[in-house]
Amino acid sequence: MDNKTILNSTLFNKNKYPNYSIAFWMYLIMFILSIGCSLFIFLQFIFKRALRINVNNHVVLVVLICSFLQVISELPLVLVYFRTNVALIPSDTFCALWCYVDYAFNVVILMLMCHASIERYLLVFHHVFIYHHLIIFHYLPIIFSIIYPFLFYFGFIFFYPCVSQYDYTKITCQGPCYLFERIPGSIDLLINITLPLCISILSNIFLLCRVFHQKHRMKQQQKWKKNRHLVIQLISIVIVHNLVWLPIIICLLIELFSPVVDQILIDLSVNLFTYSIYIVIMICPFVSLLGLHDVRQQFIPRSSMSNRILNIIRPRARSPVIHVLPLPLMPLPKTEHVSKLNNKVEK
């Protein structure tokens, strides 16, 4: 074997197994910080009953729980893949379980975002109606958003009549076989991913337009201040998820309906966009913390106390002192009316 053949073989291996060392350390740091932030928020919900009973926080809490479960269950597998370029356990059963966890949790979060976007509009403008129908319009959609994705992917990944050819050198082993079938793959993409995302985007656009219109009406200023926290709490989470999922879905739809697919789109959807989903999951607790006004308020007293300490250590410029001299007290002159009263008292 000559030197040229050895060089080509080395370059081939480098291209086949890319170097994920930077991604590994970045994901590891975010993984640790995400777990710490999630545990902090969970402790706040445990010890503060007001947070638990607030209907506005229920969907946010469920999204945080799902994100936390996905982080602790799937991110270690991703970190191992970054170090070894191979799945943790190179077997079809392990790959099927990995795909099941990844797909189910992603769709659960998307459907919860969709439900939260619709519910938040009702909470802002029709809160009395929501509070009178909490079971139908609040609890049942949350339960459905959790159960449906797990049942759907359990059936299609483990029981769909096709043979999956997993690639152990790809993230999530390149996916199960039903994705490469026209009908089930289209159903999964259009109904489970595209539809919730589109509803979420349109609902939030409509909500923002309605809220800004309400804000500019002079008689609605007080109501705008009351609803501002409700809007910010959800919008901050939804925007982060939609910014990542929207380009992924656009690329997947082009691949689905276009007769000729560019290799660049495939590489973007498989590599860059897929890994960005994990980043969104890990930063979800931090974004949620911005929207939880009651939890965020804990940091305000600390900042004010630190300002007091700084003022003691570094006092401000002294203002000029004005000395006020006391005025001498003079006896009041007696009037005729007072003298007559005194004479009557003496008599």
pLDDT averaged over every residue in the chain: 79
Beta carbons of 192 and 150 less than 8 angstroms apart: no
- Share above pLDDT 90 across residues of the chain, in percent, rounded to a whole number: 42
Domain at 19-297, CATH class:
mainly alpha
Q: What is the DSSP string of 46-92?
A: HH-HHHHH-GGGHHHHHHHHHHHHHHHHHHHHHHHHHHHSS-SS-SH
* Separation CA 318–CA 147 (nearest Å): 66
16 pLDDT above the threshold of 70: no
- The C-alpha R_g of the chain, in whole angstroms, comes to 32
Write the pLDDT tens digit of every residue in 219-230. Answer: 555 556 666 666
Beta carbons of 166 and 174 less than 8 angstroms apart: yes
Instruction: Out of 18-22, 68-72, 276-280, 316-320, give the one with best mean pLDDT.
Output: 68-72
What is the structure's pLDDT at 227?
64
Instruction: Out of 127-136, 182-191, 326-335, give the one with best mean pLDDT.
Output: 182-191
What is the structure's pLDDT at 72?
96
15 pLDDT above the threshold of 60: no
Nearest residue to 170 via CA among 245, 99, 73: 99
